[in-house]
Chains A and B, each alone.
Chain A
Amino acid sequence: MTLDLPLERIHPLAFRAAEATHCAGDQGRYWEMHHRLFAHQRALEPFDAHAEAIGIDAEAFRECMESSRHADAVRRDMAEARKVGATGTPSFVLAEADPDDPSKATGLAFIRGAQPFAAFQAAIDRALAELAPGGE
């Protein structure tokens, strides 16, 4: 799962880009927009062009962007980043999911930066061992 941490001070368009992914998400195409914007980081504007490229309803997308209705969600993600001490991207937190509430999780381990797969595997293996019945 991804949470948004637009580094606004160095990336002025990053916040809008995060909003754009959620606007695409309203039309069920969050990941398409996510991957598309990642691949076009030097050409984020106009965002409409990316909406068109992934084939979503341009008018609904534009309306969504104008309303900034996902801004609060992006800001909430940023607050979560502050809470766990994530200051750069990518940062990862491996967490234990709350079985009763998909919006809640409890932190287990922090992984800083684009680490090799093995680093994730090791963290996940440790977490599984700890969470296993009879584990720590």
Chain B
Amino acid sequence: MTRTLALAAAAPGLALVLALAIAPRAAAQDATADDVARRLDELERGQQQIQRQLEEIKRLVQAQAQGPARPAAPAGPDVAGVELDLGDNPVKGQPGAGLVLVEFTDYQ
């Protein structure tokens, strides 16, 4: 009997202790969740920034690769009227076509 009472008395105490133990933990979890969310935001912003910088670098590299003189149209040597000797290189497409697209190619 005494034993049961003691248990009954202990039970709310136990509940209180548990509640006390959980409360700060929950608070800590909230804080952690906020923190994680904030960190995620930061990471996301950072990533977006990196992406923007990468896009910028890509744009610059491409502009560089295509030569300095490429503001609007793909500039290149003026070949208008240049007579080409195509030899007997293999050709694809319709024989007798009015236009020929010549590719200068390299393996390696």
Main secondary structure of the interface of B (DSSP, over half): loop
Query: Nearest Cβ in chain A — how far from B61, in angstroms?
Result: 13
Residues on B with C-beta less than 8 A from A12 are 108
Chain B residues with Cβ below 8 Å from A83 are 82, 84
Is B106 within 8 A of A14, CB to CB?
Answer: yes
A17 at the interface (CB under 8 A from B): yes
- Give the docked Cα–Cα distance between A103 and B88 (Å): 6
Nearest B residue to A33 via CB reads: B107
Q: A90-B105, A107-B81 are in contact. Are A112 and B76 (CB under 8 A)?
A: yes
> Bound state CA distance, A44 and B107, in angstroms?
9
Chain A 76-94 per-residue mask, 1 if CB under 8 angstroms from chain B, else 0? 1100110111100111111
Closest Cβ–Cβ distance, residue A51 to chain B (whole Å):
14
How many chain B residues have a CB neighbour from A under 8 Å?
A: 36
- The answer, yes or no, to whether B92 is at the interface (CB within 8 Å) is yes
Which single member of A21, A38, A85, A103 contacts B79 (CB below 8 Å)? A85
A6, B106: Cβ atoms under 8 Å?
A: yes
Partner of A84, one of B77, B99, B101, B105: B77
Interface check A56, CB cutoff 8 A: no
The 7 closest A-B pairs by CB, nearest first: A85-B77, A107-B79, A110-B76, A17-B107, A11-B108, A107-B82, A89-B106
A-B contact pairs, 15 of them (CB 8 A): A1-B100, A11-B106, A25-B90, A31-B90, A83-B84, A96-B98, A96-B99, A96-B100, A99-B96, A104-B84, A105-B102, A106-B81, A109-B79, A112-B74, A124-B101
Interface residues of B (CB under 8 A from A): 65-67, 74-92, 95-108
